[in-house]
Amino acid sequence: MAIKQLEQTIDDIEAGNIDLEQALNKYKEGVNLVKFCQEKLQDIEQKIKILDQDSNQLKDFATQ
């Protein structure tokens, strides 16, 4: 859901149909959404490491 919100925020800014103050607010919202998504991704990567550890094989999560 956060990614969808981020995509919508980007679309709103790129469309150029909002004034400067609204664009700034959308930008701030986008920054917060990016931080949220990064934190969720880190949490998931950590869970993957823990699952691998439980199977007696600890592997780093490849992000590429």
Specify if 59 maps to a domain: no
- Give the DSSP H/E element, type plus range, for residue 12: helix 2-15
Between CA 52 and CA 22 the distance in angstroms is 45
Specify if 63 maps to a domain: no
> pLDDT-derived band of residue 56, with 50, 70 and 90 as boundaries?
low
Per-residue DSSP letter, 17: -
Specify if 38 maps to a domain: yes
Specify if 60 maps to a domain: no
Between CA 8 and CA 11 the distance in angstroms is 5
Contact 37, 3 (CB under 8 A): yes
Q: Where are the beta strands (DSSP E) in the chain?
A: none
Specify if 50 maps to a domain: yes
**Domain containing residue 10:** 2-54
Contact 19, 47 (CB under 8 A): no
Specify if 40 maps to a domain: yes
7-16, 22-31, 47-56, range with the lowest pLDDT: 47-56
The answer to whether the pTM exceeds 0.75 is no
* Percent share of the chain, pLDDT over 70: 78
What pLDDT, on the 0 to 100 scale, is given for residue 61?
60
Number of domains in the chain: 1
Per-residue pLDDT of 27-55, as tens digits, reads 999 999 999 999 999 998 888 877 666 66
